Chain A
Amino acid sequence: MFLGEEGDGVEKKIRVLVAKLGLDGHDRGAKVVAKAYRDAGMEVIYTGLNKTPEQVAEAAIQEDVDVIGVSILSGAHNTLVPKLINLMKDRGITDVVYVVGGIIPNEDVPRLQAAGVAGVFGPGTKTNAIISFTQKAVEGRKTV
């Protein structure tokens, strides 16, 4: 759960932004995952509900996060998630790990992956599976 030693010997924790995109009000999963990330030793910021892609990108940049975890159960993922990733790219940020959770039909997964999402987690996923995936993805990002 640590990115490794930094120059001053302080271990840097993984920073995660848990985000609710769009008008969707289902925040049970977002809060559960946020708590699980925190319990696993990560620094977690939760955006609160109803954020636009612009607001999430802004928050991610301000907070200098390693990971954006988007929770979306409204069916608007195909529009909103790629929009967020493109906004980040426009701002020159290409090394953030994106994970998406919610009600995402299987056939949408390749499309989200093509847009740059590292992992998609549907209902029933254990929180420790999400945590270990995220850790590995962040580590992998470092070596690329």
Chain B
Amino acid sequence: MNWTERKEVFKTTSGLTVKRCYAPGDLAGFSYQEKLGQPGEYPYTRGVYPTMYRGRLWTRRQVCGFGTAEETNERLRFLIEQGQTGLNIVFDMPTHFCLDSDDPRSEGEVGVEGVAIDTIQDVDDLFQGIDLRKVSTSLISEPESIMILPMYVAIAARRGVAPAELAGTLQNDIYTGFAGCNVKCFPPKASEKMSTDLIVYCTREMPRWNPVSIVGYHYREAGATAVQEVALTLAAGIAYVEALLERGLKVDEFAPRLSFFFCCHNDFFEEIAKFRAARRLWARIMKERFKARDPRSMMLRFHTQTAGCSLTAQQPLNNIVRTTIQAMAAVLGGTQSLHTNSYDEALSLPSEDAVLIALRTQQIIAEESGIPNTVDPLGGSYFVENLTDELEALAEEYIRKIDNLGGMLKAVETGWVQREIAASAYRYQQEVDSGEQTVVGVNQYVLEEEQYIKVVRPNAIELEAKQLRRLAEFKKLRPERETTRSLDDVARAAEKDENLVPVVIQAVEKGATVGEIRQVLEKVYGSFENEPSDF
């Protein structure tokens, strides 16, 4: 009998060819010890811990941040009450660019995409009523990391909590700043210096803190394929290791605290294989290329967020299903923490109801589905192992390409990474436009009458006015002369190329604002201006 198939070629979302069926022949020469090992053992393909979710479930970590510190504090407390186990704070665009809310460039953006932070008082209010010893806090900060971490350390000190007691993660990844999420305000070399200042400081003072979260998420969201996502992320990891070695640190001193952040897209098996491949490849890079000896230096620990770019504005409730599939893949891929997107995010900031469903999705997977009961349940699947091998080999080849370009910093400075990602994005859009790639509700199964959902509209104008009042009030009360002196100290430390973290902690304690510190640093390092670019 002639069995015809629906399509000539079956492909993953990233364009890898998928065969009809996989069998032992697809894993010729497969060695369990070499390729997989036990969970918690090199090369960590099956997971970084021996017990994985049998020991402790992944951290449920929903992104949160809007308006002033007061509004966000209220939402954070709501999430904690609802069983969220880690905080994940996102800042508004002016804060990302180290601009104060009263800067003309901030107009219309204060508190819109995240919480507005200008001063130490804002961070103090943000964590009102939250026990800093008990929570693990992720700060999704980019160039402003050099101000935000000092503010967090300083408010902890006010509460009698030492830096060594703080647990959490600072995003602080300049490579995504330049080529992924596009948040940059200082030239690349200076940005790298500030980022590594923070890592050096945390390595010495904050043993429970992840001083950098090396981000693949934004490359993927901007259009990268799964292979590009893994390769660009690990290439950024390599760049960090090299920069820190150059600063005189030993690899096993800092590598155990490097952490990563990936996207989880729709293609279920490709995503699971991607996480497994990334783990194995990183372990090998650390062991063979950087001669790490501490096993923890070889463990790729990562946070996952479901794919915002996969969400549709059309029939938004379908997004709950997409997010569920993606969250399952992240868990089957062995993530350490997870953010699930809300179904209304292609339309607006998420509503409280939508956020709750997103959190409940994780809780259902965690506590009803049975998925976390055994470690790496898909390990040994002919298909998944084959796909893991293929993704690993392709990512390794792509990293070699970046090495040949002179490394990630060069690849980003020359715009190579940005062009590669844009090309992938365009290819994907053409596939969607032509119908080759189905997007339910968008190019297939379209409804005449769209589903209506109520969207949240925080009153941006009111919130901006409130933040401006807070800032003005703060400036009136601060010890002006001491503030100025502390800013001079920051300038001096920058000129002498000293580590900036201790002086910035002093400065924010004395009332220096995010924008004032930016101004001081700009005088020393210069600023970064985006030029008209190719596309």
Do A and B interact?
yes
Residues of B within 8 Å of A80, CB to CB, are 108
A122 to B457, CA, bound (A): 17
Does chain A have a CB within 8 A of B222? yes
**Min CB gap B182→A, angstroms:** 3
| Inter-subunit contact B109/A124 (CB<8 Å) | no
Q: Contact flags (1/0) for A121-138 with B, using CB distance below 8 Å? A: 011101110000000000
Residues of B within 8 Å of A35, CB to CB, are 422, 426, 535
Enumerate B183-222 residues with CB–CB distance to A below 8 Å: 183, 221-222
| Inter-subunit contact B105/A28 (CB<8 Å) | no
Residues of B within 8 Å of A48, CB to CB, are 530-533
- Chain A interface: which of B79-87, B296-304, B341-349, B374-382? B341-349
| Inter-subunit contact A105/B348 (CB<8 Å) | yes
Enumerate A86-144 residues with CB–CB distance to B below 8 Å: 103, 105, 107, 122-124, 126-128
| Inter-subunit contact B182/A25 (CB<8 Å) | yes
| Inter-subunit contact A31/B442 (CB<8 Å) | no
| Inter-subunit contact B105/A45 (CB<8 Å) | no
* Chain B: interface residue total (CB-CB under 8 A): 46
Does chain B have a CB within 8 A of A70? no
Does chain A have a CB within 8 A of B365? no
| Inter-subunit contact A32/B112 (CB<8 Å) | no
Does chain A have a CB within 8 A of B482? no
| Inter-subunit contact A23/B532 (CB<8 Å) | no
Residues of A within 8 Å of B443, CB to CB, are 126
**Min CB gap A84→B, angstroms:** 12
A127 to B61, CA, bound (A): 35
- A28-B108 in contact given A35-B426, A105-B455, A123-B312 (Cβ < 8 Å): no
| Inter-subunit contact B533/A28 (CB<8 Å) | no
Does chain A have a CB within 8 A of B181? yes
- A103-B346 in contact given A18-B535, A31-B535, A76-B109 (Cβ < 8 Å): yes
Interface of B is mostly: loop
| Inter-subunit contact A75/B112 (CB<8 Å) | yes
Q: Which of B108, B182, B530 contacts A79 (CB 8 A)?
A: B108
| Inter-subunit contact B182/A123 (CB<8 Å) | no
| Inter-subunit contact B532/A79 (CB<8 Å) | no
A78 to B460, CA, bound (A): 10
| Inter-subunit contact B222/A28 (CB<8 Å) | yes
| Inter-subunit contact B429/A127 (CB<8 Å) | yes
| Inter-subunit contact A75/B222 (CB<8 Å) | no
| Inter-subunit contact A79/B107 (CB<8 Å) | yes
Chain B minimum-CB-distance residue to A35: B426
| Inter-subunit contact A32/B105 (CB<8 Å) | no
| Inter-subunit contact B530/A49 (CB<8 Å) | yes
| Inter-subunit contact B221/A28 (CB<8 Å) | yes
Does chain A have a CB within 8 A of B175? no
A74 to B533, CA, bound (A): 20
| Inter-subunit contact A23/B93 (CB<8 Å) | yes
Does chain A have a CB within 8 A of B433? yes
A22 to B183, CA, bound (A): 12
Enumerate B498-514 residues with CB–CB distance to A below 8 Å: none
Q: Contact flags (1/0) for B78-109 with A, using CB distance below 8 Å? A: 00000000000000011011010000011111
**Min CB gap A24→B, angstroms:** 7
A26 to B432, CA, bound (A): 19
Residues of A within 8 Å of B221, CB to CB, are 28
| Inter-subunit contact A46/B534 (CB<8 Å) | yes
| Inter-subunit contact B442/A49 (CB<8 Å) | no
Residues of B within 8 Å of A46, CB to CB, are 532-535
Chain A minimum-CB-distance residue to B457: A105
Does chain A have a CB within 8 A of B439? yes
| Inter-subunit contact A103/B439 (CB<8 Å) | no
**Min CB gap A72→B, angstroms:** 10
- A74-B531 in contact given A23-B97, A28-B223, A79-B107 (Cβ < 8 Å): no
A24 to B363, CA, bound (A): 32
A-B contact pairs, 11 of them (CB 8 A): A18-B535, A23-B97, A28-B422, A31-B535, A32-B223, A48-B533, A49-B182, A75-B349, A76-B460, A124-B441, A124-B442
Interface residues of A (CB under 8 A from B): 18, 22-28, 30-32, 34-36, 44-52, 59, 74-76, 78-80, 103, 105, 107, 122-124, 126-128
Interface residues of B (CB under 8 A from A): 93-94, 96-97, 99, 105-109, 112-113, 181-183, 221-223, 309, 311-314, 346-349, 422, 425-426, 429, 432-433, 439, 441-443, 455, 457, 460, 530-535
Besides the contacts A24-B113, A103-B348, what 6 more A-B pairs have beta carbons closer than 8 Å?
Answer: A46-B534, A80-B108, A123-B313, A123-B346, A124-B313, A124-B314
